[in-house]
Structure 1
Amino acid sequence: MSQLAVRPLSAQLQAAAIKELNEVPERVAADIEALRTWIQQQPHLRARDDDQFLLSFLRGCKFSLEKAKSKIDKFYTLRTKYPEFFTINDVDEKKVRELINTGILVYLPTPLNENGPRIAVVTLGTYSADNYSIEDVARTLDGIQEIFMLEDDYAVVYGITTIVDVKKGSTAHLMQMSPSSMKKMTVFSEEALPFRTKATHFINIPSGFEVFFNVLKPMLSKKQQKRLSLHGNKLDKLYEHIPLKYLPKEYGGENGSIAEGIAELNQKLDAYREYFKTNAQYGTEEKLRPGKPLDFDQIFGVQGSFRKLEVD
């Protein structure tokens, strides 16, 4: 078996991967090869099979081969079915760059507590709802996430803690987030991406956003519902989970700045230009899928009540 083309982990990350992700270093090559062989045997699936890509899915699934197979299948199935939501083939797409330049999503340079989950900051409402659709937003976020899935070992091993600032959100932004679009995004995030969401903290919540949260929460798994925190305008509650020093300068912290995060993302997109172009050749063909075709209506059926959520 040829030598693996993967990044070596630091000693601390490797220890965490062994303890938390069930990684057995001596068996990684065989696990990757088993996943690659499975992909090659699927008549309906055209997927990347390079070592680092497959290893990200294995780590994201705690080395459960069956879960990794399911995530890779859904990763490409949902992209093929809903390319307007989940697929970027051109990093120079005007709306993608414009949305990134608004600071809609940045990853902070220092992980939580120095060696922990990667911290992401999502700022809702940075863009005009008249000029950008929820599909534009979802596609942009997915492109950023794919890059970090491939190259951020802290995000893959320790997971991601997300801060969602909704201070700039308006009724127009809220209206874009239909139950259908929210369901697509939550299913893709939980069932197709190889990230483990450690926590999601909503801050600067204006009145009127209860409807959004009440639609969102039932769509999440029970595990993710428990990891969702609403802090209203009480940032001291956020500091109990993320100390101030780990927030960006715009929030009074020491962990880089939104502007620096934007510049970094633009550089990464430039570096991944050819990678995203080749994404066009990957996907699924449902008529070739062995067994029963996927029932998308069942997958994206939206249920849930509009119960009042507690905001601390």
Structure 2
Amino acid sequence: MADTGKYLVITPEEVAYVRKQLGTNEEDIKTAVTSLREWLRMQPHLPDAVDDALIERMYINSKCSMEKVKLGLDAYFSLKHRFPELLMNRDIGGNDFQFATKHFKMMVMPRLTKDAYRVSIWTAVDEDSSNVVWPLYGNILTGALEIMLVEDYCLGDVVIFDLANVNAGHVVRTDINFIRNLELCYKTAYRRRLKGIHLVNASKIIHSVMKIAKMALSEKLQKRVFAHLPGSTTLFDEVQPDCIPDELGGTAGPVDNFAYKLLEKVDREWLLEKDKYKSDESKRPAEDHDGDIYGIAGSFKKLSVD
């Protein structure tokens, strides 16, 4: 895997801050990783194809809950059966990826916010809705999550969606189930925590967008969606300007400095190789089956967004 550390800027002080906020330390993390590694080896249906960095970050993302990490590791391998369109064949060198980059700009900002959250921004949506294939961007997004699962170190995410070019055509083409599936993968397979979704340049289309959010997102996430009118500066009450690109009123630099840069720093084969590692459901212990998909989705239903 390529070194993305030069793009994601995480200082030792920020790592220490995250650990302090979660009430953990180096010794506790090493003990947890060792224990979780041993647990993973004892699961006959799961491959032992993760490194310690991934386990540590899943532990951090799970607020140091061992049980939630176990659910996460199971989901990480098992949900590939259920959502292959989201979690497999993430070819960042393929024609679909090249097409996507021309019609919608997605970026993970390199610097953490002052309270140690990672900012992701979706902007420059093509006004021609036929060029915006939402499942394709979901596939690209989980590719970024895959990288962050071994490289990032934060308390959660802030997502900013620029609605400037979004119109009724985009709304009509939005699949509610797709959003629900993406949320499930986000919070279970990657154990990420969402602090807030900020809709900027919100206009008359905002009512339709909020209606979709209400239908698609969990009740907890619905309360974390915030709209900002065109020309307002209310976004900066939540996120400092140096984490926002120039085009959205920030001071971080132009959008093109950040769009897809995290993915571009990763070897193409590294992501594709992840397809090899998934659960073998024929070997799942009988006591794990609860009448739902792969014996784990029943537990997913009980999980809340932390």
Quick check: TM above 0.5? yes
Q: Secondary structure at the match of 2:120?
A: strand
Separation (CA, whole Å) in 2 of partners of 1:64 and 1:300: 15
Distance change in 2, residues 1:126/1:150 (3 Å): farther
Correspondence for 2:271: 276
Correspondence for 2:179: 182
Separation (CA, whole Å) in 2 of partners of 1:263 and 1:228: 24
Q: Secondary structure at the match of 1:174?
A: helix
Could you list the runs of 5+ residues in structure 2 that have no partner in the other structure?
A: 302-306
Distance change in 2, residues 1:210/1:260 (3 Å): same
Distance change in 2, residues 1:188/1:57 (3 Å): same
Structure 2 contact 58–191 (Cα < 8 Å) conserved: yes
Separation (CA, whole Å) in 1 of partners of 2:127 and 2:146: 22
Separation (CA, whole Å) in 2 of partners of 1:32 and 1:299: 22
Deviations 1:89-117 (A, max 9, x none): 4321211233235453112233223x631
Q: Secondary structure at the match of 1:283?
A: coil
Structure 1 contact 78–188 (Cα < 8 Å) conserved: yes
State the one-letter code of the partner of 1:286. Answer: E
User: Identity of aligned pairs, percent?
Assistant: 23
Separation (CA, whole Å) in 2 of partners of 1:236 and 1:133: 30
Distance change in 2, residues 1:14/1:265 (3 Å): closer
State the one-letter code of the partner of 2:73. Answer: I
Structure 1 contact 204–233 (Cα < 8 Å) conserved: yes
Separation (CA, whole Å) in 1 of partners of 2:130 and 2:216: 26
Deviations 1:142-177 (A, max 9, x none): 112221232122xxx232211111221232322232
Q: Secondary structure at the match of 2:233?
A: helix
Correspondence for 1:120: 120
Distance change in 2, residues 1:69/1:101 (3 Å): farther
Separation (CA, whole Å) in 1 of partners of 2:42 and 2:128: 45
Separation (CA, whole Å) in 1 of partners of 2:124 and 2:299: 26
Correspondence for 1:253: 250
Structure 1 contact 75–193 (Cα < 8 Å) conserved: yes
Moved over 4 A (4+): 296-301
Correspondence for 1:106: 107
Structure 2 contact 290–298 (Cα < 8 Å) conserved: no
Correspondence for 1:205: 202
- 1:227 is displaced (CA, Å) by 2.3
Distance change in 2, residues 1:135/1:12 (3 Å): same
Distance change in 2, residues 1:124/1:295 (3 Å): farther
- 1:52 is displaced (CA, Å) by 0.7
Could you list the runs of 5+ residues in structure 1 that have no partner in the other structure?
A: 1-6, 302-312
Separation (CA, whole Å) in 2 of partners of 1:222 and 1:12: 34
Separation (CA, whole Å) in 2 of partners of 1:100 and 1:278: 22
Greater Cα offset, 253-262 or 170-179? 170-179
- 1:34 is displaced (CA, Å) by 1.5
Correspondence for 1:310: none
Distance change in 2, residues 1:239/1:18 (3 Å): closer
Separation (CA, whole Å) in 2 of partners of 1:26 and 1:265: 30
Separation (CA, whole Å) in 2 of partners of 1:145 and 1:47: 19
Separation (CA, whole Å) in 2 of partners of 1:84 and 1:127: 25
Correspondence for 1:136: 136
Structure 1 contact 124–169 (Cα < 8 Å) conserved: no
- What is the TM-score of this pair, normalised by structure 1? 0.81
Correspondence for 1:52: 53
Structure 1 contact 120–162 (Cα < 8 Å) conserved: yes
State the one-letter code of the partner of 2:245. Answer: P
- 1:134 is displaced (CA, Å) by 2.3
RMSD: 2.8
Counterpart selection for 2:237 from 240, 252, 255: 240
- 1:53 is displaced (CA, Å) by 1.0
Deviations 1:171-229 (A, max 9, x none): 23222322211211122222222322222111122324434422323554454333221
Separation (CA, whole Å) in 2 of partners of 1:132 and 1:252: 24
Correspondence for 2:264: 267
Greater Cα offset, 127-136 or 238-247? 127-136
Structure 2 contact 104–124 (Cα < 8 Å) conserved: no
- 1:56 is displaced (CA, Å) by 1.1
Distance change in 2, residues 1:64/1:179 (3 Å): same
State the one-letter code of the partner of 1:170. Answer: N
